[in-house]
Amino acid sequence: MAGFTDGEGCFTCSIGEKKGFSFNFSLAQKGESNLYILKQLCTIFKGGIVSNHYIKTVFEYRIAGVKACANIFPYFDKYTLLTKKSLAYTLWKQVHVELVNKHHLDTEKRKQIIEKARMINKSNIL
């Protein structure tokens, strides 16, 4: 799965200027033959859903929320990502710690977290 994530996975976090945030991991795969594998991720990570992607014939596993996403940390800490996704994962996990510690409720810290969250999937960070 680490290889699939290197190619097709996405770690995301968006934080509003005033309040609210979303924290997600998703993995998309083409073809119905991959539905079984994606559905297994719901069991392995004790959460998430599999749904249609916006591209026809592509399906997506998505796990959302600070508490649920913590379920995937042991896997990616053990099976290291090898592409720029490794840095994205590291930043995403750092933002997770900030959210768990409720630093996003502090106006100044929130600005810093927003900037870090914006860098998670920037292609020029490596």
Q: Please state the domain count of the chain.
A: 1
CATH, residue 62? 3.10.28.10
CA terminus-to-terminus distance, the chain:
22
pTM: 0.90
Residue 74 domain boundaries: 2-125
pLDDT tens for the 126 residues of the chain, in order: 898 899 999 999 999 887 789 999 999 999 999 999 999 999 999 999 999 988 889 999 999 999 999 999 999 999 999 999 999 999 999 999 999 999 999 989 999 999 999 999 785 454
CA-based nearest residue to 10, from 53, 67, 56, 39: 53
